[in-house]
Chains A and B, each alone.
Chain A
Amino acid sequence: MSDPPTLPSRRKVFIAVVVALLTATALLFGVILPAEYGVDPLGTGELLGLLALGQARPIVSEEGEYRVDQVELPLYPGEWVEYFYRLEEGGSMLFTWAATGPVSYNFHAAPDGAPAGYAESFDGQESEQGHGTYTAPFSGIHGWYWENVGAGETTITLTTAGFYTSAEEGRARANGYKDLTDIRGNLIPSLP
């Protein structure tokens, strides 16, 4: 291929750069900043109805009954307990728990209508505390399994607030904590 015919004139290049810069600036301030950052220096965001796009929605209203619960769950060494909630899809729950000794935990959920033995585990490790929010990915039961992995007695204090319809405890004395199953008959994996 031969070289491009001729170089564009200097003036043409200047105009191109200025036009590019002005176009970009106009689009940036007129459209993108209102839509993406909720910043509206020219008032065009309001005019075009773009402003709503850039503003986060700090409030999400939820269906269902609001509940607050606090429980204390004492555990002997090697003993386990489950505590679970009924949440509809999209329902959320704010939680905080702390144990007085080392525990291993597993947060898992079983969707409605799932075959016995099916549960999805979302989080699990050894820790003495956990805090956060949980939003149910599906309707079903959702909750913790805790096991006392320390040498002494420990007590877990769990506080939750959210849009769940029931809170229930399930536990059994550990028999050497082998082949533990949860309330649905799921085998609970032994954690490292």
Chain B
Amino acid sequence: MVSPVRPILVCLLVAGLAVLSAGATLHAHPMEGTNAGFVQSVDGPALGPFLYLGAKHMVTGYDHLLFLVGVIFFLYRLKDIVLYVSLFTLGHSLTLLFGVLGDWSVNAYVIDAIIGLSVVYKGFENIDGFERVFNVKPNTKVAVLVFGLFHGLGLATKLQEFMVSENGLVANILSFNAGVEIGQFLALAVVLALLGVWRTRPSFLTHSFVTNTVLMVGGFLLAGIQVVGFVLFS
């Protein structure tokens, strides 16, 4: 028997994490303090630092992490996980590279709001919302690729805010990108380990609906923060 207290505890815990991560995203996300000062002063290739910053950005970037949690939530086979994560990587690498190189000017609040909505989308998809409400089954591979493109634009706007020098730009973007993949791999390893343990328990299917609802809460929060930021500061 599952005691009625447990689901409530799980909800509270996940909701708490969602709030913390949403708050942390505001500050942990744009590069700040000494990191930003460093990046601004860079003139020329600085592979190590950009590799580190890319990895740090991913590990502390809760919007990307929540989306990935949603993506792999119901993926059981390694083959599928690799396929979907590769599509996400392809998407965000493309827009990161071309966004910075082409000096696309995209509003960071708008992009981050879309990224928040991508988390909502994934949670909604995971509770079979599209089948139930709209009677359609979206192509999940296309969706992860398209949202990957938006996540990459988000990465590009962060890097653009601070990259001043054209000198060594391509090398620095590529090492930032490589860092993003390393950070993504590390984060995925942790998430998969936790999910793997949880999946062996009957509580996984019982609480998967609630968990994905909480994922939507996190996504709505992330999007809301950015929308208000856009209204106040843009």
Interface of A with B (CB < 8 Å)? 1, 4-5, 7-10, 12-14, 16-17, 19-21, 23-25, 27-28, 31-33, 35-37, 39
> Is the CB–CB distance between A1 and B76 below 8 Å?
yes
Q: Inside 8 A of A24's CB, which chain B residues have their CB?
A: 216-221, 224
> Is the CB–CB distance between B220 and A8 below 8 Å?
no
Partner of B232, one of A1, A10, A35, A39: A39
Q: Inside 8 A of A8's CB, which chain B residues have their CB?
A: 127-128, 132, 209
> Is the CB–CB distance between B225 and A32 below 8 Å?
yes
> Is the CB–CB distance between A32 and B216 below 8 Å?
no
Partner of B224, one of A12, A28, A35: A28
Assuming A4-B128, A16-B213, A32-B224, what are 16 further A-B pairs, CB within 8 angstroms?
A4-B205, A7-B128, A8-B128, A10-B133, A13-B128, A14-B133, A17-B129, A19-B213, A23-B217, A24-B219, A25-B220, A28-B224, A31-B19, A32-B22, A36-B26, A37-B228
Main secondary structure, interface of A, reads helix
Contact residues, B182-234 vs A (CB, 8 A): 205, 208-209, 212-214, 216-221, 224-225, 228-229, 232
B204 CB → nearest A CB, Å: 11
Q: Inside 8 A of B208's CB, which chain A residues have their CB?
A: 4
> Is the CB–CB distance between A20 and B213 below 8 Å?
yes
Q: Inside 8 A of B124's CB, which chain A residues have their CB?
A: 13, 17
Q: List 28 A-B contacts (CB under 8 A).
A: A1-B76, A4-B74, A4-B208, A7-B132, A8-B209, A10-B132, A12-B209, A13-B127, A13-B132, A14-B133, A16-B127, A16-B213, A16-B216, A20-B120, A20-B213, A20-B216, A20-B220, A23-B220, A24-B216, A24-B219, A27-B22, A31-B19, A32-B23, A33-B228, A36-B23, A37-B228, A37-B229, A39-B232
With A5-B205, A20-B216, A32-B19 known as contacts, the answer to whether A13 contacts B221 (CB < 8 A) is no
Q: Inside 8 A of A36's CB, which chain B residues have their CB?
A: 23, 26, 225
In the complex, what distance in Å separates the CA atom of A11 from the CA atom of B128? Answer: 12
Count of A-B contacts with CB under 8 A? 82
In the complex, what distance in Å separates the CA atom of A10 from the CA atom of B225? Answer: 29
Q: Inside 8 A of B228's CB, which chain A residues have their CB?
A: 28, 33, 37, 39
In the complex, what distance in Å separates the CA atom of A10 from the CA atom of B19? Answer: 28
With A8-B209, A13-B129, A37-B229 known as contacts, the answer to whether A20 contacts B22 (CB < 8 A) is no
Interface of B with A (CB < 8 Å)? 15, 19, 22-23, 26, 74, 76, 120, 123-124, 127-129, 131-133, 205, 208-209, 212-214, 216-221, 224-225, 228-229, 232
Residue of A whose beta carbon sits closest to that of B209: A8
In the complex, what distance in Å separates the CA atom of A39 from the CA atom of B105? Answer: 28
> Is the CB–CB distance between A23 and B15 below 8 Å?
yes
With A14-B133, A25-B224, A35-B23 known as contacts, the answer to whether A20 contacts B128 (CB < 8 A) is no
Partner of A32, one of B128, B214, B221: B221
B27 CB → nearest A CB, Å: 8
Partner of B132, one of A9, A31, A33, A35: A9
Residue of A whose beta carbon sits closest to that of B11: A23
In the complex, what distance in Å separates the CA atom of A10 from the CA atom of B133? Answer: 6
In the complex, what distance in Å separates the CA atom of A28 from the CA atom of B214? Answer: 14
Residue of B whose beta carbon sits closest to that of A9: B132
Q: Inside 8 A of B216's CB, which chain A residues have their CB?
A: 16-17, 20-21, 24
> Is the CB–CB distance between A37 and B232 below 8 Å?
yes
